[in-house]
Amino acid sequence: MTEPRSLNSLEGRCALITGGASGIGLEMTRTFASRGASVLVFDLNPEAAEAVQELEQCAVFTGSVAEATDVNAAFSAAEKYFGPVDIVVANAGVSQNCPTLDLDLEGWRRVMSVNLDGAFLTAQEAGRRMIPRKQGRIIFTSSIYGVVAAPERLGYVVSKSGVSAMTKALAVEWAHHGIRVNAIAPGYVRTPFVDDLQARGRLDIGALEKRTPIGRLIETSEVAEVAAFLASDASGPMTGQIVGVDGGWTAYGYV
């Protein structure tokens, strides 16, 4: 007798993860693969294949989420390798930190192009392919700054707030098609990028840890586990939710 599949299992599912070759995205790729999913990593980095070469049932497509033709081609590649895409994680994004009066139009457009346009194009292509099948899970990577604001991050705050709003709008629009849409809003996560900023004096990790109620930064594995939960049957009827993985950051109003 065949054992019933665990609610947390992703066995037999095909996942497409944008920005899946580094940082949080790479940890998501590893976690999804460990749960049994086949994963198409869609990443701008031409060295992405090296980052995931040890993983079985994993393929790489190199391209930009801000280009509709690349997004379409990535989905086609996933279908070629593994079959219809069941799970999409729109994770690719860029940061931005500068005074608003120093932010030029080119910089504004870049963060909007990747963070907001990229999320839209990825979700739209997912919808086109999932709606006929009446099933699918879409997970966005938003941010604490898609929920609350901070100075000198205007483009990032606006773009991630747009991702949070997009999550809710699509969840409502596509629920009757059997598609669940949720977002993760990570706080400050310990990644090589954050460690590099600390080393260059651009970031004070000690101050961030003090500001975070749990007293430490978030680990990439913790964000990936939440993503896997939202991608699995264990999250049941959850849709339209912005799930904070921030150690209590956005709940903490005391200064």
What lies within 8 Å, CB to CB, of 141 at 6+ separation is 19, 24, 25, 89, 90, 91, 93, 163, 183, 184, 186
Residue 134: Cβ within 10 Å count: 10
Annotated active-site residue 81? The verdict is: no
Could you identify the residue written with the tokens 């098609």? 177
Q: Which two tokens stand for residue 120?
A: 């839209």
Q: Where along the chain do its domains lie? A: 14-245
Average confidence (pLDDT) per 10 residues, the chain, 255 residues? 74 97 96 97 91 92 98 98 98 94 98 98 98 98 97 96 98 98 97 82 89 97 98 97 98 85
Of the listed 156, 188, 252, 254, which one is catalytic? 156
Provide the sign of the torsion angle of the four alpha carbons 238, 244, 250, 252, taken in this order: positive
Q: Which two tokens stand for residue 178?
A: 């059997």
Whole-angstrom Cα distance, residue 85 to residue 139? 13
- The CATH number of domain 14-245 is 3.40.50.720: yes
pLDDT in the model for residue 4:
60
Helix (H, G, I), strand (E, B) or coil at 50: helix
Beta pairing partners, 140: 90, 183
**Under 8 Å between Cβ of 169 and 229:** no
Nearest CA to 115 out of 99, 138, 137, 95 is that of: 95
End-to-end CA distance of the chain: 58
Helix (H, G, I), strand (E, B) or coil at 117: helix
Element (H, E) at 28: helix 23-34
Residue 68: Cβ within 10 Å count: 14
